């Protein structure tokens, strides 16, 4: 497969260059329709700056906001933030278009007509809150607190803690997160004894083998990743790391890599096992690490005298290069070259991302990739996979649980598969959507929806609407009308991030802790309210247990109490410059405590002035002391899974799909294979003769799941790679297009077993033959005048299904066909 690499790099460099260059924002803002933005250029022009944290993606970038006459006119990166060090991505620059957006909801609304008719009337805050409190109070009075569902978009930081405390004290296990692709915590990690996601010691590694993680675009914290990449590749004082990108798409990360290995969809797992084969056969694995820190590499015998196969036996029997090459499409030579390079350039890291998570076999693919790290001794070692630093301290009291709350918290979750108790910690959005209309395991009576738009973001939107129809009372907290809010009974619009207080932490991938202070740079423009204040107000109305668990007058009091806990802990510091950071590290490494603030008041003032608290990267990078597994080691053979099967509450994971004839894995007992990394044949919706192409949706930095689609700036640059603006596109390899008789720029119908969509084709040599690529984020049906009716939403083509083991949405597992749109 060939591609004009130079042209592509030129285009993709635009994105990275955007970090730090903001001049065009003013122009784009001026082109908007909002008079308030233009008014900022009149008056005596008194300039001030405020510090805060961007909340437009999970990236956690520190920002500085320039105000003229008290009106925000520009957003820049905060140079003191260790995450972005002054950089900002295009989405970060678009923040003023959130604040000044002409279609913001201006106050609480109550549905007037039938659901979906879009008839609303203003409702006083007090009436809305009392109505919710009455409903929630009645559920508790009926001893059904678990019939309350809180659906959120992976809320983290202080709001994440508040939601969890509220739900626990109320008595519902249904705080369910909708991270649509899950590159953070995986249930797989729970089997290895971890209760949190892990991270990578990028600064000390020499080789990154990335399985479908487009970490320079829309995975991880984008600006931090982009700056890190520059550091790892261009710093003359360190060895240039090597990067191999395995993916079905020539992504931005693939374009920047030393080597791109295109693989067939759903085959990353077997490629990892093929690499393991080479490491074992050639003796390139870390034998001392394997002997000391792992279990199940060799065959082993249990206490009943039964011998079980180890990882080595299964790999050597089943994942020989000829087979792996045939299934993945990667040549044997390339397989061997990459395996040798991975072993020779230690410490090395194998990581995974969207391409792995989006298939029905994601659990075992992740397991195989994690096992590669164990093979080269990178699990829990410097330069390998490490434990992120501990979260910041908290001031929350232990939740006070009455009998109702205790009983409710013990109930099954609303996303529980019907035939198995929840065995692994996970969110299972596909199962939730199936369960709601079936009223299984019980009917949900009240739902809160916060920072997520499931009708747009989940596959088969019509099923999601159907699920919402079965919830009698739905409350949305969105600041903009969207596809999900349309089906709500009440909309209680939140402030935008430039109008409110918050504490942000838990940024995925960071090997250090940053606590970002989000603070209002202007008063709320409309009659909106912080969702945190709504929860605290409800807690006070719902009885003593809740109000004693959340004894805060308002969200600002809670936030200050948390800031005081940060100060009292004596950990970390507020940066004021690079020299400070260096000095702090130097002193603490030599046993000094180096408090910069003796009084909380000074600490609080500096915290507001910089917006950042941090713990030094090098001090809190934790290696893994011991695996909290049954063997106390990393388990190639998971004894925890075996125990779950023994207790009879776990299904065999082996897929029921038609499998290759005479698969070598068939020689092993299914019970053993279930506990070991192995290859599960990926399942796809749609028969290959009728639907000959794979649909490969992908995320872009400008849109993520689609929340950026109502901003002019982002629409203008959405498809910069293909010079596409304000629209979607479908990437097709020139050979595939030629076979279908399709030319560049032609309109086509993409049809899947669940839907169809009309889109323009862009020929792209970086596409794999037989695969069609469509970006997520556009195709809104009810998201304001800029976004609605623009482009297509690939979720309308994707079947709603998930990996049975970890609940991850299999959004790359649908086949499609393409036909030309005939001229009218
Ligand atoms: S990467 Fe995320 S947090 Fe950082 S500026 Fe962009 S949108 Fe904001």
Residue-wise pLDDT tens digits, 57-82: 889 999 999 999 899 999 999 988 88
Instruction: Count the alpha carbons within 13 Å of 473 in the hemisphere toward its beta carbon.
Output: 13
Q: Is the confidence at residue 52, as pLDDT, over 60?
A: yes
Report the relative pairing of strands 199-200 and 175-177 from DSSP bridges: unpaired
Q: Which of 19, 20, 21, 61 to mutate to test the pocket of ligand 1 (most atoms within 8 A of CB)?
A: 61
57 ligand 1 Cβ < 6 A:
yes
Q: Which of 60, 74, 75, 224 to mutate to test the pocket of ligand 1 (most atoms within 8 A of CB)?
A: 60
Stretch 698-717: mean pLDDT = 91
Q: Are 734 and 765 in contact (CB under 8 A)?
A: yes
Q: What is the H or E stretch that residue 148 is in? A: strand 148-152
180 or 693: which leads in pLDDT? 693
Specify the range with the lowest mean pLDDT, choosing from 247-256, 388-397, 439-448, 787-796. 388-397
Q: How far apart are CA 351 and CA 371, in angstroms?
A: 11
Q: How far apart are CA 571 and CA 332, in angstroms?
A: 51
Strand spans (E) along 451-591: 473-476, 490-491, 502-504, 514-518
The pair of structure tokens assigned to 24 is 């065009």
* Residue 729: other Cβ atoms inside 10 A: 23
* SS percent in the chain: helix, strand, coil, step 5: 35, 15, 45
**For residue 12, what pLDDT band results from cuts at 50, 70 and 90?**
very low
Give a three-class secondary structure readout of 766-818. Answer: CCCCCEEEEECCCCECCCHHHHECCCCCHHHCCCCCECCCCCCECCCCEEEEE
Query: So what's the pLDDT on residue 572?
Result: 82
Instruction: Output the CA 91–ligand 1 centroid distance in Å.
Output: 6
Residues sharing a CB contact under 8 Å with residue 457, sequence separation 6 or more, in sequence order: 178, 180, 705, 706, 795
Exposed / middle / buried, residue 712 (Cβ in 10 Å: 0-12, 13-18, 19+): middle
Q: Mean pLDDT for the chain?
A: 88
61 ligand 1 Cβ < 6 A:
yes
Closest approach atom of ligand 1 to CA 221: 1
Residues sharing a CB contact under 8 Å with residue 166, sequence separation 6 or more, in sequence order: 150, 535, 538, 539, 546, 549, 550
> Which backbone phi and psi does 457 adopt, to 5 degrees?
-95, -15
Q: Which of 81, 83, 91, 93 to mutate to test the pocket of ligand 1 (most atoms within 8 A of CB)?
A: 91
The number of residues in the chain equals 824
Percentage with pLDDT > 70 across the chain: 87
Q: What is the CATH number of domain 109-182+393-574?
A: 3.40.50.740
Q: Which of 17, 25, 56 to mutate to test the pocket of ligand 1 (most atoms within 8 A of CB)?
A: 56
Beta bridge partners of 490: 110, 475
Q: What is the per-residue DSSP string for 96-110? A: HHHHT-TTB--S-EE
Beta bridge partners of 350: 209
Q: Are 575 and 612 in contact (CB under 8 A)?
A: yes
Integer CA distances (angstroms), 491 to 450, 458, 501, in order? 11, 21, 21
Query: So what's the pLDDT on residue 582?
Result: 54
Report the relative pairing of strands 109-111 and 120-122 from DSSP bridges: antiparallel
Specify the range with the lowest mean pLDDT, choosing from 435-439, 489-493, 565-569. 565-569
Q: How far apart are CA 50 and CA 652, in angstroms?
A: 55
Query: So what's the pLDDT on residue 587?
Result: 56
**For residue 180, what pLDDT band results from cuts at 50, 70 and 90?**
low
56 ligand 1 Cβ < 6 A:
yes
Query: So what's the pLDDT on residue 581?
Result: 59
222 ligand 1 Cβ < 6 A:
yes
Stretch 519-539: mean pLDDT = 97
462 or 381: which leads in pLDDT? 462
**For residue 661, what pLDDT band results from cuts at 50, 70 and 90?**
very low
* Residue 432: other Cβ atoms inside 10 A: 24
Integer CA distances (angstroms), 96 to 37, 72, 391, 597, in order? 8, 7, 30, 34
Specify the range with the lowest mean pLDDT, choosing from 152-161, 365-374, 443-452, 608-617. 608-617
Query: So what's the pLDDT on residue 622?
Result: 61
Beta bridge partners of 693: 816
Q: How far apart are CA 737 and CA 750, in angstroms?
A: 13
Integer CA distances (angstroms), 656 to 222, 270, 361, 458, in order? 38, 18, 12, 24
* Look-up of token digits 């879009």: 118
Residues sharing a CB contact under 8 Å with residue 84, sequence separation 6 or more, in sequence order: 19, 59, 61, 62, 77, 78, 223, 224, 227
Look at the domain 693-820 and name its fold: Barwin-like endoglucanases (2.40.40)
Q: Is the confidence at residue 38, as pLDDT, over 60?
A: no
Percentage with pLDDT > 90 across the chain: 66
Q: How far apart are CA 164 and CA 36, in angstroms?
A: 37
Q: What is the CATH number of domain 199-386+628-674?
A: 3.40.228.10
Query: So what's the pLDDT on residue 439?
Result: 96
91 ligand 1 Cβ < 6 A:
yes
Stretch 191-214: mean pLDDT = 88
Stretch 376-401: mean pLDDT = 89
Query: So what's the pLDDT on residue 269?
Result: 97
Instruction: Output the CA 342–ligand 1 centroid distance in Å.
Output: 32
Stretch 428-434: mean pLDDT = 93
**For residue 41, what pLDDT band results from cuts at 50, 70 and 90?**
low
Query: So what's the pLDDT on residue 2?
Result: 39
Instruction: Output the CA 248–ligand 1 centroid distance in Å.
Output: 26
Domains of the chain: which residue ranges?
Answer: 5-99, 109-182+393-574, 199-386+628-674, 693-820
**For residue 657, what pLDDT band results from cuts at 50, 70 and 90?**
very low
Q: How far apart are CA 398 and CA 620, in angstroms?
A: 26
Q: Which of 622, 625, 615, 568 is nearest to 588 (CA)?
A: 615
Query: So what's the pLDDT on residue 650?
Result: 60
Q: Is the confidence at residue 468, as pLDDT, over 80?
A: yes
Query: So what's the pLDDT on residue 476?
Result: 98
Query: So what's the pLDDT on residue 27?
Result: 41
Query: So what's the pLDDT on residue 519?
Result: 95
700 or 658: which leads in pLDDT? 700
Report the relative pairing of strands 300-301 and 307-308 from DSSP bridges: antiparallel
**For residue 507, what pLDDT band results from cuts at 50, 70 and 90?**
confident
Q: Is the confidence at residue 646, as pLDDT, over 90?
A: no
Nearest-CA residue for atom 5 of ligand 1: 92
Strand spans (E) along 298-353: 300-301, 307-308, 348-352
Residue-wise pLDDT tens digits, 311-329: 999 999 999 999 999 999 9
Look at the domain 5-99 and name its fold: N-terminal domain of TfIIb (2.20.25)
Q: Are 265 and 784 in contact (CB under 8 A)?
A: no
DSSP annotation of 768: P
For the chain, the C-alpha Rg in angstroms (whole number) is 26
Instruction: Output the CA 497–ligand 1 centroid distance in Å.
Output: 12
Report the relative pairing of strands 148-152 and 175-177 from DSSP bridges: parallel
The pair of structure tokens assigned to 783 is 């998201």
Instruction: Output the CA 226–ligand 1 centroid distance in Å.
Output: 11
Q: Is the confidence at residue 759, as pLDDT, over 90?
A: yes
Query: So what's the pLDDT on residue 817?
Result: 98
Query: So what's the pLDDT on residue 16?
Result: 38
Residues sharing a CB contact under 8 Å with residue 312, sequence separation 6 or more, in sequence order: 280, 297, 298, 299
92 ligand 1 Cβ < 6 A:
yes
The pair of structure tokens assigned to 523 is 């008063």
**For residue 358, what pLDDT band results from cuts at 50, 70 and 90?**
very high
Q: What is the per-residue DSSP string for 290-304? A: HHHHEESSS-EE-TT
59 ligand 1 Cβ < 6 A:
yes
């Amino acid at each position: 497969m060939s591609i004009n690499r130079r042209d592509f790099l030129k285009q993709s460099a635009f994105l990275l260059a955007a970090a730090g260059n903001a001049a065009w924002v003013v122009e784009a803002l001026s082109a908007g329709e909002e008079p308030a933005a233009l008014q900022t250029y009149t008056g005596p022009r008194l300039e001030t700056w405020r510090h805060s944290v961007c909340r437009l993606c999970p990236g956690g970038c520190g920002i500085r906001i320039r105000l003229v006459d008290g009106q925000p006119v520009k957003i820049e990166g905060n140079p003191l933030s260790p995450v972005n060090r002054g950089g900002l991505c295009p989405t970060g620059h678009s923040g003023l278009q959130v604040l000044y957006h002409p279609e913001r909801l201006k106050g609480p609304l109550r549905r007037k007509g039938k659901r979906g008719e879009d008839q609303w009337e203003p409702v006083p805050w007090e009436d809305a809150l009392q109505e919710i409190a009455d409903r929630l109070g009645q559920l508790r009075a009926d001893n059904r607190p678990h019939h309350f569902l809180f659906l959120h978009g992976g809320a983290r930081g202080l709001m994440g803690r508040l939601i969890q405390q509220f739900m626990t004290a109320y008595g519902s296990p249904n705080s369910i997160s909708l991270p649509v692709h899950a590159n953070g915590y995986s249930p797989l990690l729970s089997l290895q004894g971890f209760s949190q996601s892990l991270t990578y010691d990028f600064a000390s590694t020499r080789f990154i083998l990335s399985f479908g993680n487009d970490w320079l675009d829309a995975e991880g914290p984008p600006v931090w990743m982009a700056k890190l990449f520059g550091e790892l590749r261009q710093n003359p004082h360190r060895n240039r790391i090597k990067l191999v990108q395995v993916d079905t798409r020539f992504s931005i990360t693939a374009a920047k890599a030393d080597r791109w290995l295109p693989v067939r969809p759903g085959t990353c797992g077997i490629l990892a096992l093929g690499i393991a084969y080479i490491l074992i056969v050639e003796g390139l694995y870390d034998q001392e690490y394997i002997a000391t820190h792992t279990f199940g590499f060799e065959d082993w015998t249990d206490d009943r005298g039964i011998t079980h196969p180890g990882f080595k036996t299964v790999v050597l029997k089943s994942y020989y290069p000829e087979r792996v090459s045939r299934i993945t499409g990667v040549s044997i030579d390339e397989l061997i070259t990459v395996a040798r390079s991975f072993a020779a350039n230690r410490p090395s890291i194998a990581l995974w991302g969207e391409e792995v998570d989006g298939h029905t076999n994601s659990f075992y693919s992740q397991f195989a990739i994690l096992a590669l790290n164990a093979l080269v001794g990178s699990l829990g070692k410097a330069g390998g996979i490490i434990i992120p630093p501990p979260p910041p301290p908290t001031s929350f009291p232990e939740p006070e649980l009455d009998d109702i709350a205790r009983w409710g918290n013990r109930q099954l979750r609303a996303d529980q598969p019907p035939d198995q108790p929840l065995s692994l910690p996970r969110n299972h959005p596909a199962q939730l959507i199936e369960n709601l209309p079936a009223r299984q395991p019980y009917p949900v009576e009240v739902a809160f929806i916060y920072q997520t738009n499931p009708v747009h973001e989940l596959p088969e939107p019509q099923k999601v609407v159907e699920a919402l129809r079965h919830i009698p009372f739905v409350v949305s907290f969105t600041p903009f009308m969207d596809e999900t809010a349309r089906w709500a009974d009440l909309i209680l619009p939140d402030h935008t991030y430039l109008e409110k207080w918050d504490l942000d932490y838990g940024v995925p991938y960071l090997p250090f802790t940053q606590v970002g202070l989000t603070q209002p740079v202007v008063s709320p423009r409309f009659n909106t309210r912080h969702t945190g204040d709504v929860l605290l107000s409800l807690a006070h109305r719902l009885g003593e247990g809740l109000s004693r668990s959340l004894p805060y007058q308002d969200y600002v009091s809670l936030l200050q109490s948390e800031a005081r806990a940060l100060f009292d802990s004596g950990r970390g510091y507020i940066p004021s410059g690079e020299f400070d950071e260096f000095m702090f590290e130097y002193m603490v490494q030599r046993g000094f405590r180096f408090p910069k603030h003796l009084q909380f008041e000074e600490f609080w003032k500096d915290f507001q002035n910089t917006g950042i608290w941090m713990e030094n990267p090098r001090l809190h990078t934790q290696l893994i002391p011991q695996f909290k597994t049954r063997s106390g080691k990393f388990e190639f053979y998971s004894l925890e899974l075996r125990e779950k099967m023994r207790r009879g509450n776990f299904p065999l994971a082996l897929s029921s799909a038609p499998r290759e004839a005479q698969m070598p894995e068939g020689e092993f007992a299914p019970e053993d294979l279930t506990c070991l990394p192995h290859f599960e044949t990926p399942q796809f919706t749609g028969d290959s003769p009728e639907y000959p192409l794979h649909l490969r949706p992908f995320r872009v930095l400008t849109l993520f799941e689609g929340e950026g689609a109502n901003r002019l700036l982002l629409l203008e640059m959405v498809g910069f790679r293909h010079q596409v603006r304000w629209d979607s596109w479908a990437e097709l390899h020139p050979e595939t297009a030629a076979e279908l008789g399709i030319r560049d720029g032609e309109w086509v119908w993409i049809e899947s077993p669940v839907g169809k969509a009309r889109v323009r084709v862009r020929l792209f040599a970086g596409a794999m033959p037989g695969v069609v690529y469509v970006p997520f984020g556009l195709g809104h049906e009810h998201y304001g005048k800029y976004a609605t009716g623009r482009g297509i939403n690939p979720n309308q083509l994707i079947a709603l299904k998930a990996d049975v083991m970890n609940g991850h949405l299999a959004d790359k597992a649908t086949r499609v066909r393409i036909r030309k749109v005939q001229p009218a």
